[in-house]
Structure formats: structure tokens, C-alpha cells
Chain A
């Protein structure tokens, strides 16, 4: 955003409304004193509504969440939460004590959530990349396939997940119908997909199904910017397809990749909808992620302080990880953009 665009706006609107002048022309046409007065007020006036809303719907609740982590908030003092007793770091100590049931659950959940994030983002990226490269060449039916790939992304998340929950149902679900009844895998036993150890894998599948079209969309957009003559030149020089992919495609989409991986990781690490719809209010032990754990602590046990403390820890961890990532990875990409 440049200054000239901002100050030229009102002046241009006032003097020559019919034509959309170049910033430079507008500046020349208006008189300096008037412009100066407007400049001092208008930018602030324009961002005021956004600033107020940001404060109301983002920063306010965030500060409130941090405050809740330091008080003992239960349903007993919910109506009068401003007077809930201040307990300092007690909620954090409870949440982080590795000898306690709660602490153990917290640490194993963080580990599981990390593994989950790596799996989901990894698979989504590979699928998205493969789809994007595949569809970057011209062939009949490309548009149709493109639309088809985007269906999971266009579908409301809740609807897609609930359909998966039906399909994974042990007794009547489509997954067991196909695997057990049609293909005769797993012998006679119909495996459970939403209970026990399989639940983690089921959750990964559903999330990848939902997420990969986003990677596909972003990478396809990025690939549009890679000039075809680069590939042609490489092909003439005898580069294999794999070499072209490694030496041309990957470096060229690097800026998009940087943002894409970060956004997908943040979404997946915070994933709540998929487990909540698949498993209900409490996930199986083997598939409990950090956001559902916070939900269980806050709304299952009505221990809002503990839930708040875990949220703050999560916020700090994500903040550090994002800051590190942005410094290490994004600047080089951003300059190329």
C-alpha cells in the first residue's frame, strides 16, 4: 500500500469524478493545504471501524482467554466471572504436571497432534502437488477434472465429515461393505474405524480429503505463473521430467509453498471440526487432538481455567513456530512475489 493511493482518493473524487486519474495527476491537481488536513484525518477515520471490530472480535476475546487461564473459573462463578478467584499459575501447573492424569493427557496429546499435523499436511501437499502438475498440462476433460477435485473443498466441512462418519460406521458403513463384504479383506471381522487405534487413521483420511483440494488450488495457481518456455528449454537440454520438477517447478512455486504449508499446518494443528463430527464431544484416547482436549476440559469438566491455560500454551507454541517459520522461510519468497 502506498501513500499516494490513499491521499489521491478523496481529491480525485472531488475534482474529476468521471476519470480515474493517475496518482501523480491527482496530486498535481489538488492544492496542498486542503490535502494536508484531509490526510491527517481520513486514514484514521477509514480504519476506525476495522480497528474497533478487530478489538471487539479478536483482541478482546483473546485477552479474555488469557485472563481466564489465570483464574479458577467454573460454573459456580460463571455468572459473576469477573470475581472468580485469581489462582496465578495454578492452571498451568495442573496442565503441565507430567505426574498427573491431566498433564500426561496434555503431553501425549501435543505429541499426537504434531504427528497428525505432519501426516495430514504431508499427504495433502503431495496429493495437491500431484494434482496441480497433472492438470497443468492441457488435455481434454481438464476443466471437468478440476471441478471434480475441488468438490471436497466446496462442500461444507460438516456435511463432508458426517458423510465420512456414516461410511466408517462399523456395522452398516460403506467402508466395511466394500472392504469386508466385497473385497473380503480382514477375514470375517468387520473392523471398527471410529473406535480404538483405527480412529486416528480415519481422522487423517477425512482431514486429507478435506484439505488437499486447497493445496491443489494454491499450487495450480502458482504453476500458472511458471512460463512454459523454461520447460521447453530444459527439455531440449535433456532434463528428465523429475529433474524439471525438482529444478524448475519446485523453486518456482516456492513462495506459494511457504505460505501454503504454514496455513495448512496451523489449520491442522488446531483441527476441531473433524474429530468433533466424527467422534462426538469426546474423542477416543488414540485420536484426541489438542483442540478437542481443550474443549473437553472447558465444556466437559467445566474447568475453564485449565482449558484457558492449555489454550494459552497452544497460542504461545503456535506463535513461536509461526514467527520462526516466517523469518526462516517466507522473506526470500516474499521478495520474489
Chain B
């Protein structure tokens, strides 16, 4: 290398290569071409592979019908939110993607998703095709939604029928008092070591999102809300404290929940407890796929207990409007085909096929009447979703609210497992969360 120019060009080439490599580091940049679109699907099956396998027939039919190929990536729930935000920030995301419907307003505010109006609204057949509660999660009230419902879910109470029979309980409890009384009957020492090894109730005490759902539902049942009319957080209002106390007390004072549950962070771990007979009851959105995978048949389903039997309106809330929505990325180079996929996935036929495969609920009313969704379990879930659910607060800071209330309850369960929890502790924890929420606003 005698020639300085040669050296210079070599150096420049090295630098360019390095720059190119570091630019690639962002990852996930889809190679857009006219007949291929990218789709990020949430994990709805037993595993990422299972989800993909169950989605494949639908995507094959789509390709056959439209000639558009779909590059699929299934993303686990623990990664999904951050992956979406990375895509939003960089503007470099898939053409179509799944979002948890409680994030819809938060993500709407980023302005990264295509508003559901005009061509897109027409393609999915208008909002009247959809279940009202599910459609309401598409975005903030009074704003054009930026996501359409895809799969519906709702909380129900699942119980182990064998343990119920052993305890002489004939029908599932309907009020909170009955529920606690039954849970006590079901909490037993079965091996004679003086300590319970079968528990009345199980929950993933360290799951932040599941805890925040309970803060929402139990607060409403007690006449509270997480935010007042002006949008100020009211996590530490009396009814909210009462609601959270009822939930935490299941471990702290009623002792019908194993202290070990304070360490569970995955919903599937509590399902295991139910299947293994270590616990008799749990609140869950969709455990059937786990039941089937373990060939577990001794289960029953009932509505989530309420403070008073037959309560309606806010106090009759048993679940948030759970589910998964679908958005089209505004930066998509292939919007026409992205819209085609959104329309196809929400069509009556594919709604039946997909929700059957994932044991979730169709979000279009026409599909709900299909024979596949007439089982007792699905009917119970459908009833909860259509009549006893409200969307989580439709505000931009929903994500923070989930993190703060859910973490507060996680810490309270930890405190219950390692000592005692007083009402003051609960109030203080919720007050802390409230202050942080207020500071973030």
C-alpha cells in the first residue's frame, strides 16, 4: 500500500462497512416488495411455534386468494410491547401487527398506526360487524381508532371439579363472600403435616398486568375508579383500597392462597397449580389450551364472583374487555396489501378458524353463532365479554397505570408472603403508585 489514496480508500471502505453493519443493528427491517408483507403476531398458542403453526393455514389461504405472501413473526408477550415501541420510534416496523388491546390508546398517541377510517374501515366491513365492547378498545373515546379487534378474551373463574366434589361444594360461588367461604373449605392439609398443601385459590402474584386487571375490576365492584372525571389518578381512593385489599387478603388474612404464589410471574404457573390439584380456583382468560395440552378434564367454569349477586353496570364488572387488536403500520410501504390482510383476518370464516384454534372469542358477531363457540366455557366467556366487561381506562398512560398498580400489588403479595399486610400498608402502596402516576402525567 504505497499509494496514500489506496490507504484512504481502504480506510473509507472499512468505515463504510462498519457504518453499514451498525445501521443493520436495529434489526427487523422488512424487505418490502410488492407481493410480500410482514406480520407480527402475538403469542396465542402454547408456544411461539404452536402459534405460528395454527396461523399458517389462514395465511396460506390469504396468499392463495390474493397472491400476497406474508412474512410471519410470532413475538412473545414479554417482548411485544418493547418491540412495538422500538418499531414506532424507528419508524421501521412490520406492515401489520398485533397489539394487546389495553395498549391501544397508548399506542394510538404515538401516531404510528393507520387510523381505522376510509379504505381500512371499509375493508373490515364497518364497525357494526364487531362486538361493541371489543370495538371500544380500538382507541381513545371520541378519536378515530387506530386498531381493530382481532381476538376477544374475558376473565372467568375456572375451578377443579374433583376438589369441589371432595369438599362437598355443589355449585360455584357467585358472590365474593361465598367465594371466600368456599375457598376456605377448599384450603386443606392433605398430607397431615399440619400445613395446607391444597389451596382454595391461586393467582400469579408477581404478574404485573394480571394484578392491574384485578385492581381495575375489584375497584369497580366496590364503586371506585382508577381515574376521576378529570383524568386524575385515584388509585388510593377508599373503594380502590378496599378492592385491592379483598384481593391481597386472599393471601394475607383469609389464607386461602399459597404464599408461594407471590413468586409466580407467569399465568401458566397458576394453571399448573389448578391442574395438579394444588389449588381449586383461579381467574383466567384462556386456560383451555393448557388444559388440552395436559389432557386435564376435571375443570368447570363460572363467572367471576361479584360483591352482590346479579350486580349490573360498573359494579357488575367481572373483567376488562380483554383481547388482541390489529393495527396497520402507518409507515408501511405496502398499505394496500396490509389492509387486505387486516380484512382477511377479521372475516367471518377466519375469525371462526383462528379463535377456535386459540380458544379465544370471535370479535365479529356473525362468527359467534358458529357451533364451535356454543360450549359452556365459550358461552360464559362471551357473556362476560359482552355484558360484564369494561375496557381498561382508555387513556394514553394506560401502560404506566398497569405497571404502577400491578407492581404495587406484586409488592403487597410479597409482603403478605413474608409477613403481614395491614390496610395502611395497602393504602400507602397505592398512594405511592398514585403519586408516581401523577408525576408522570
Contacts and interface: CB of A to CB of B under 8 A. Distances in A.
A76 B110 contact: yes
B310 interface: no
Nearest to B8: A45
B167 interface: no
A48 B263 contact: no
Interface string A287-312: 00000000010011111001000000
Given A14-B2, A281-B208, A300-B407, A75 B436 contact: no
Contacts of B262: 192, 195
A194 B88 contact: no
B403 A300 contact: yes
B419 A78 contact: no
Interface stretch (A94-102, A109-117, A124-132, A147-155): A94-102
Contacts of B396: 75-76
A56 interface: yes
A302 B399 contact: yes
Given A48-B11, A53-B22, A197-B418, A282 B410 contact: yes
Contacts of B339: none
Interface residues of B, number: 50
Nearest to A94: B439
Given A169-B263, A303-B440, A192 B418 contact: yes
Contact of B439 (A13, A49, A101, A299): A101
A285 interface: yes
Contact of A301 (B1, B8, B400): B400
Contacts of A13: 1
A170 B269 CA distance: 14
B263 A194 contact: yes
Contacts of B414: 192, 195-196, 284
B411 interface: yes
B417 A101 contact: no
Contacts of B403: 282, 296, 300-301
B274 interface: no
A195 B15 contact: no
Interface string A81-108: 1000000000000100000111000000
Given A38-B4, A75-B106, A101-B435, A53 B18 contact: yes
B260 A284 contact: no
A169 B264 CA distance: 10
A14 B4 CA distance: 13
B347 to A, nearest CB: 31
A331 interface: no
B18 A195 contact: no
A37 B206 CA distance: 67
Contacts of A45: 4, 7-8, 11
A10 interface: yes
Nearest to B265: A280
Contacts of A78: 85, 88-89, 110
B8 to A, nearest CB: 6
B208 A52 contact: no
B263 A46 contact: no
A180 to B, nearest CB: 12
B418 A49 contact: no
Interface string A62-81: 00000000000011101111
A44 B411 CA distance: 56
Given A79-B89, A192-B418, A282-B410, A300 B439 contact: no
Interface string B366-408: 0000000000000000000000000000001101100110010
A19 interface: no
Given A79-B91, A196-B419, A280-B206, A302 B19 contact: no
A29 to B, nearest CB: 15
A87 B150 CA distance: 40
Interface in B252-290: 258-260, 262-263, 265
Contact of B411 (A100, A194, A198, A285): A285
B400 A42 contact: no
A160 B2 CA distance: 51
Nearest to A193: B263
B111 interface: yes
Contacts of B1: 10, 13
B19 A52 contact: yes
Contacts of A196: 414-415, 417-419
Contacts of B410: 282
A236 interface: no
A237 interface: no
A300 B406 CA distance: 11
A1 interface: no
A142 B302 CA distance: 65
A41 interface: yes
A79 B110 contact: yes
Interface string B83-126: 00100110100000000000000110111100000000000000
B14 interface: yes
Nearest to B400: A301
Nearest to A45: B11
A239 B53 CA distance: 74
Given A79-B91, A79-B112, A196-B417, A299 B82 contact: yes
B110 A282 contact: no
Contact of B22 (A41, A56, A169, A170): A56
A65 to B, nearest CB: 15
Contacts of B419: 196
B214 to A, nearest CB: 17
Interface string A255-286: 00000000000000000000000001110110
Most chain B CB within a 10 A radius of its CB, from A49, A52, A57, A171? A49
Contacts of B397: 302
Given A45-B7, A169-B263, A192 B417 contact: yes
A188 interface: yes
B65 interface: no
Nearest to B404: A301
B107 to A, nearest CB: 8
Contacts of B411: 284-285
B229 interface: no
23 contacts: A14-B2, A42-B7, A49-B11, A53-B18, A57-B22, A75-B106, A75-B110, A75-B399, A101-B436, A102-B436, A170-B259, A170-B263, A171-B258, A171-B263, A192-B263, A196-B415, A198-B418, A281-B208, A282-B407, A282-B410, A300-B404, A301-B403, A302-B440
Closest 9 CB pairs of A and B: A196-B418, A195-B414, A101-B435, A171-B260, A300-B403, A49-B15, A282-B407, A76-B109, A301-B400
Interface of B: 1-2, 4, 7-8, 11, 14-15, 18-19, 22, 82, 85, 88-89, 91, 106-107, 109-112, 195, 206, 208, 258-260, 262-263, 265, 396-397, 399-400, 403-404, 407, 410-411, 414-415, 417-419, 432, 435-436, 439-440
